[in-house]
Structure 1
């Protein structure tokens, strides 16, 4: 499938106890944690690329600049909408917006890089030696 700037994808999540700041260690409140929101944003970006990379390739996150602007309690659904802004070679730039049922909760600029799975894992596992 062809990859084009402007392509979008969405990821969503029902906030439960496992998503909260007290569980993720980023605070002590039962609200959606910033690390979990970042993971949801990355998930939305990976959905844009899903099925569009060469066989044996995947993407990894390399940077994210994120603002978490509103808290979300347990029981609400949150979603992230990722838009592919540009790509060059193996680098992909995204803009991501996040929402809960009450409105906007955050935004991010995110970069991903395409990697060869086998080579990437060989390098990672070599760290054990």
Structure 2
């Protein structure tokens, strides 16, 4: 497993109508919805773990702390930078910063657990 504190990656999103609080049901304003900000943060953490886990393993989200600090309008772009902050056995902690240009749009901590993918899915559907 090649995961260690300090590893980082970035993903980008241009906000569309489908990404807004109005569309997601999390509010009634046409700006990036908090659920979509979280989904982008989690996508960054998943991208960071891709190809770095033991064969047959995946990660699942288990805990989130999110501060949504800036409204991003439709057409605006945000970049999510995920950094591994801690590796403790199967638990991985990430700090994700969403930026709109130079401004911080959100700060998010995401904890994920490494699981055996096949066993996890089988248990969920049992």
- Shorter-normalised TM range: over 0.9
1:110 Cα deviation (Å)? Answer: 1.2
Aligned residues: 126
**Matches of residues 69-88 of structure 1 in structure 2 within 5 Å?**
69-88=69-88
1:102 Cα deviation (Å)? Answer: 5.7
What is the CA–CA distance in structure 2 between the aligned matches of 1:88 and 1:31, rounded to whole Å? 36
Structure 1 runs not aligned, ≥5 long: none
Cα pair 1:58 1:114 within 8 Å, conserved: yes
1:101 Cα deviation (Å)? Answer: 2.9
Give the 3-state SS of the residue equivalent to 1:31 in structure 2: coil
Give the 3-state SS of the residue equivalent to 1:112 in structure 2: strand
TM-score normalised to structure 2 length: 0.95
TM-score normalised to structure 1 length: 0.93
What is the CA–CA distance in structure 2 between the aligned matches of 1:76 and 1:36, rounded to whole Å? 14
What is the CA–CA distance in structure 2 between the aligned matches of 1:4 and 1:101, rounded to whole Å? 27
Give structure 1 regions of 4+ aligned residues with deviation exceeding 3 angstroms. none
Cα pair 2:93 2:109 within 8 Å, conserved: yes
Aligned to 1:104: 104
Aligned to 1:48: 48
Cα pair 1:76 1:101 within 8 Å, conserved: no
Cα pair 1:20 1:33 within 8 Å, conserved: yes
Structure 2 runs not aligned, ≥5 long: none
Q: Tell me the alpha carbon deviations over residues 8-41 of structure 1, each in whole angstroms, 9 at most, x when there is no partner.
A: 0111111000100011000011100000000001
